[in-house]
Amino acid sequence: MSVRLITLTIVGFLLGALAAGGVGVRVIREVRALDDATSLPAQNIARDDGYHTDPTETLISSVALVPEAATFGDDGFSISYEMTSIAPTLGTESSQDDQPLYPKRWLVEALGGEFEGIQENATEPMAVFPLMVGGSIDQVDAVRVVEAFVPGSFETPVSISGAAPEVQVGSGIDVVLIGESDNGDATTIDVQIVADDGMVREVQIVGDGPGWSESSVSGDTVTLTRSNDVEAAEFDLIVFGTTWVVIEGEFIVNIGSIDE
């Protein structure tokens, strides 16, 4: 076999390999592109559009807020909305009636100015902008929630007595001893809960330390009974419950769901 023949054979082998390699690379790229298009990476198996209840939702804390309607009138502008909590609740007894968020202060940019709005109480999902008169949804440039609250739990030990019947618990909550009766074996007390600024969601009281039986509640008053085996002038209690806790930040509200 001549040198020339060997050289030509090697060149032929390389040319064949290169040609097949070129076609092969192209085929591999096509197949991988098809794979990428039909299977997402593992971390994106959830909705890749990110919303939980509606494409026009606004997420504030763990709550999806979706505006429902806007009203324009001589007495101002108002926005009503729906909220859906996306907090995990398996095994809890949380109520759907519990408001998961209190978006208290709002701001609207419209008609060349800014208008402040407020939601008067946590349970009525509507923000009112009294100074914004007239207009239409087309003239609203932006809506923001500028002060929002989430529910936060608290537990506070207090001591109360006939000599000091009123105690400030904090967060705008006072407890007041309004009744005390001794039936021989035990003493029953009535404690009134005073929390009137709308920022308290729930307050309850139980006895702290020895001698206490189950407590019961009626309206804003909790009745507690302590065995007279315990000799103490003061009644040690634990006040617990939930208040609205301010969260930081401003939140641009998507108003795409509003039909005028």
Direct distance between the N- and C-terminal alpha carbons of the chain, in angstroms, rounded to an integer: 90
Q: CA 9 to CA 110: how far, in whole Å?
A: 80
The answer to whether residue 202 forms part of the interface with another protein (CB under 8 A) is yes
12, 73, 134, 179: which one binds another protein (CB under 8 A): 12
> Collapsing DSSP states into helix, strand and coil, what is residue 155?
strand
Q: CA 194 to CA 196: how far, in whole Å?
A: 6
The answer to whether residue 164 forms part of the interface with another protein (CB under 8 A) is no
123, 210, 232, 260: which one binds another protein (CB under 8 A): 210
Least separation in angstroms between residue 172's CB and another protein is 14
The answer to whether residue 11 forms part of the interface with another protein (CB under 8 A) is yes
Nearer to another protein, 134 or 152 (CB): 152
Which window, 19-27, 104-112, 123-131, 136-144, contacts another protein (CB under 8 A)? 19-27
Least separation in angstroms between residue 256's CB and another protein is 17
Q: For residues 79-98, which are near another protein according to CB under 8 A?
A: 85-95, 98
The answer to whether residue 71 forms part of the interface with another protein (CB under 8 A) is no
- By residue count, the chain amounts to 260
Nearer to another protein, 72 or 102 (CB): 102
Q: What is the DSSP letter of 212?
A: B
The β-bridge partners of 250 are: none
The beta strand positions in 111-165, using DSSP E, are 113-118, 126-129, 140-160
Least separation in angstroms between residue 112's CB and another protein is 27
For strands 63-73 and 113-118, give the pairing: unpaired
The answer to whether residue 231 forms part of the interface with another protein (CB under 8 A) is no
114, 118, 154, 194: which one binds another protein (CB under 8 A): 154
Q: CA 89 to CA 100: how far, in whole Å?
A: 12
The answer to whether residue 104 forms part of the interface with another protein (CB under 8 A) is no
Helix residue ranges per DSSP H, the chain: 3-38
249, 252, 256, 260: which one binds another protein (CB under 8 A): 249
Q: How many CB atoms lie within 10 A of CB 154?
A: 16
The answer to whether residue 232 forms part of the interface with another protein (CB under 8 A) is no
The answer to whether residue 14 forms part of the interface with another protein (CB under 8 A) is yes
Q: CA 185 to CA 198: how far, in whole Å?
A: 39
Helix (H) or strand (E) holding 81: strand 76-85
Least separation in angstroms between residue 35's CB and another protein is 9
Q: For residues 107-136, which are near another protein according to CB under 8 A?
A: none
